[in-house]
Amino acid sequence: MADETYEVSEIVDELLTKKRGIKEIIKEMKNVSELMVDLAYSAILFNNNDLAEEVKGLEEEMNKLRLQIEISAMLAARTSEDASKLSGIIRVAAAAESISNAAERIADTVLRDIELHPVLKEALEEAEETVERIIVTAKSGIDGMAIKDIRDNEKYAVDILCIKRGGKWIFDPKWDVKLKTEDMVIVTGFKENVEQFKDLVK
Amino acid sequence: MADETYEVSEIVDELLTKKRGIKEIIKEMKNVSELMVDLAYSAILFNNNDLAEEVKGLEEEMNKLRLQIEISAMLAARTSEDASKLSGIIRVAAAAESISNAAERIADTVLRDIELHPVLKEALEEAEETVERIIVTAKSGIDGMAIKDIRDNEKYAVDILCIKRGGKWIFDPKWDVKLKTEDMVIVTGFKENVEQFKDLVK
């Protein structure tokens, strides 16, 4: 109980210092929940523990975001009319977190080393789009490149979903963001393009 | 209770007559669950009851698909090793259905006419991609066109997520599928492209 109170006050601190509005948090919850579903299915497809671990980490982030939404909504409500309109936001945040919980359960089958039936892998393999996790190295040729240049490159034509830099996530990175050595990048696109991109940056 | 037994036997009949394998069903569950999340957020964004109703309809379809997976897995398992590998499929199906439940809860805020805070709409509006629902008419100019031609058209550049034709859904339609009058089509793409497409087919 003492622990929980401490956690909440930490989250309130973060809310106040970052000065993020409800809008930014709900946008992040939508992005993160959709990303988690992609990553979770990919974790099964590639039987990849790293991707599954990322999903687990994001699920913790989602718990925090949901609590921030609830606290922000309560602090923002001045009248009963306000409160009633804000209740929709609390519900959407709760649903977004349910999506992330389900994604975590999918990822969990990978982390628990449950041996999966080959049919499951086949079903996911036949999906048109795929997701991959790439680490930027000095030799990769994309170190220092802007997101825009990667997206517009004829050879790649992949989309950067997000970047993990020094333990922090950058979701939906702006087009002028430049990749740095040691960034972990989640790319998505048609299977052929993603494979090509992986080969090029190796 | 009698009703429930009847429903299960109906689903088994469907399984046997359609002769769909576990792979096809799990692929469909993945596609439908991801589509439902898109549609649910779009239903809020456009305050669109039709989209919300589609989400509700798809949720019922997901319940059926999950039951079909469970039944198929049980019928397919001959040894305890089989059964253990198939349990992963049952878990993934359960998680996919949880995702669809969450999407339904999001859509439900629209159907219940809960007045939403403008901030929620703003957050969703700022997303890069959007989803729209279009009815094909004889005058729309896309009646009889193949999916491929729409996707490759310079003016449109939108993606057809699925088609509802005579009460049945076609998910991830093949490139040679031709649109027909009265088809309901769910398109996705960058906001400007989808808007342009909507204007053109009106």
Residues contacting B95, CB < 8 A, separation 6+ = A40, A102, A103, A105, A106
Q: Is B165 on the interface with A (CB under 8 A)?
A: no
Residue B189 has pLDDT above 50, yes or no: yes
Q: Could you report how far apart the first and last alpha carbons of chain B are, in Å?
A: 48
Percentage of residues in chain B having pLDDT higher than 70:
90
CB A1: neighbour CB atoms within 10 A? 5
A189 and A161 in a common domain: yes
Contacts of B125 by beta carbon, 8 Å cutoff, 6+ apart: B45
The answer to whether B120 contacts chain A (CB < 8 Å) is yes
- Clarify whether residues A105 and A66 are in a common domain: yes
Testing the interface with A: which of B75, B80, B99, B188 to mutate, by most A Cβ within 10 A? B99
Q: Is the pLDDT of residue A6 over 70?
A: no
Would residue A118 count as lying in a domain?
A: no
Structural domain contains residue B123:
no
Rounded Cα distance, B107 and A25, in Å: 20
The residue that leads in pLDDT, A110 or A5, is A110
The percent of residues above 90 in pLDDT, for chain B, comes to 21
- Pairwise CA distance, residues B156 & B185, whole Å: 14
Of B26, B99, B101, the CB nearest to A37: B99
Task: Spell out which residues of chain B touch residue A114, defining contact as CB-CB under 8 Å.
Answer: 84, 87-88, 91
Q: Using CA atoms, how far apart are residues A97 and A60, in angstroms rounded to an integer?
A: 10
CB of A45 within 8 Å of any CB in chain B?
no
- Whether pLDDT at B27 is above 80: yes
Question: Per the structure block, which two tokens stand in for B44?
Answer: 């809020």
Indicate if A93 and A164 belong to the same structural domain.
no
- Is B102 a member of any domain? yes
Q: Do B99 and A103 touch (CB under 8 A)?
A: yes
> Which one of B110, B119, B162 makes the best mutation probe of the A interface by having the most chain A beta carbons within 10 Å?
B119
Residue B120 is assigned to a structural domain of this protein? no
Q: How confident is the model at residue B65 (pLDDT cuts 50, 70, 90)?
A: very high
Q: Which two tokens stand for residue B34?
A: 């991801």
User: Is A46 a member of any domain?
Assistant: yes
pLDDT band at A1 (very low <50, low <70, confident <90, very high): very low
Per the model's pLDDT, the better-predicted residue between A111 and A48 turns out to be: A111
- Domain closes at, from B86, B111, B136: B111
The domain tally of chain A equals 2
- Whether the pLDDT of residue B3 is over 70: the answer is no
pLDDT at position A3 over 50: no
Q: ipTM for the complex?
A: 0.72
Out of A54, A86, A111, a domain closes at A111
Which run of H or of E encompasses B160?
strand B159-165
Kindly state whether residues A133 and A196 are assigned to the same domain.
Answer: yes
Reported as a single tens digit per residue, the pLDDT across A119-131 is 888 887 776 667 7
Greatest distance between any 2 Cα atoms in chain B: 58
**Does B34 share its domain with B79?**
yes
3-state secondary structure of B88: helix
Asked if residue A102 lies in contact with residue B99, where contact means CB atoms within 8 angstroms, the answer is yes
Q: Which residue type occupies B43?
A: A
Element (H, E) at B171: strand B168-171
Which chain B residue lies closest to A69 (C-alpha atoms)? B120
Cβ of A85 under 8 Å from any chain B Cβ? Answer: yes
What burial class does residue A111 get, using C-beta atoms within 10 Å of its C-beta: 0-12 exposed, 13-18 middle, 19+ buried?
A: middle
CA gap A145, A176 in Å, rounded: 9
**How many Å apart are CA A22 and CA A24, to the nearest integer?**
6
Q: Pick B84's closest partner by Cβ from A88, A92, A115.
A: A115
B110 contact residues in A (CB cutoff 8 A): none
DSSP SS3 for A186: strand
CATH number for the domain harbouring residue B134:
3.30.70.1450
Contact A66, A94 (CB under 8 A): yes
Q: Are residues A103 and A141 in the same domain?
A: no
Average pLDDT in the B63-91 region? 88
Among partner residues A82, A106, A126, which is closest to B27 by beta-carbon distance? A126
The answer to whether the Cβ–Cβ distance between A30 and B44 falls below 8 Å is no
List beta partners, residue B152: none
Domain that holds residue A144: 128-201
Is the domain of A107 the same as that of A11? yes
Range with lowest mean pLDDT among A103-107, A128-132, A164-168, B117-121: A128-132
> For position A4, what pLDDT does the model report?
47
CB distance from B95 to chain A under 8 Å? yes
Whether residue A127 and residue B103 make contact (CB cut-off 8 A), yes or no, is no
CA distance B157 to B150: 7
B94: confidence class by pLDDT, cuts 50, 70, 90? very high
What would the pLDDT profile of A15-66 be if each residue is shown by its tens digit? 667 667 888 888 888 888 988 988 888 888 778 888 899 899 999 999 999 9
Tens digit of each residue's pLDDT (9 = 90 or more) over A137-192: 888 888 899 988 887 777 777 888 888 898 777 777 888 899 999 998 888 877 77
Q: Domain check: are A133 and A61 in the same one? A: no
Same domain, A104 and A134: no
Of B37, B102, B120, the CB nearest to A89: B120
Q: What is the CATH number of the domain that holds A78?
A: 1.20.58.220
Distance, in angstroms, between A73 CA and closest chain B CA? 10
Q: Is residue B44 part of a domain?
A: yes
Cα of A66 to nearest chain B Cα, Å = 14
A126 Cβ under 8 Å from any chain B Cβ: yes
pLDDT reported for residue B97: 94
Distance CA A66, CA A91 (A): 10
Measure the CA–CA gap between A56 and A105, rounded to whole angstroms. Answer: 9
Are residues A49 and A81 both part of a single domain? Answer: yes
Minimum-distance CB partner of A23 among B85, B96, B123: B123
User: 3-state SS of chain B: helix, strand, coil percent to 5?
Assistant: 60, 15, 25
- Residue at which a domain ends, from B80, B111, B142: B111
Q: What is the pLDDT of residue A128?
A: 63
Alpha carbons B171 and B178: distance in angstroms, whole number:
14
Q: Do B116 and A84 touch (CB under 8 A)?
A: no
Coil, strand or helix at A185 = strand
Alpha carbons B25 and B177: distance in angstroms, whole number: 21
B188: left (phi over 0), alpha (psi -120 to 50) or beta: beta
Tell which B residues from 167 to 196 touch A, by Cβ distance under 8 Å: 172
Set of chain A residues whose Cβ sits within 8 Å of the Cβ of B126 = 23, 27
Cα separation of A102 and A71, whole Å?
24
Residue spans of alpha helices (H) in chain A: 2-18, 22-45, 49-76, 80-111, 118-125, 147-152, 191-201
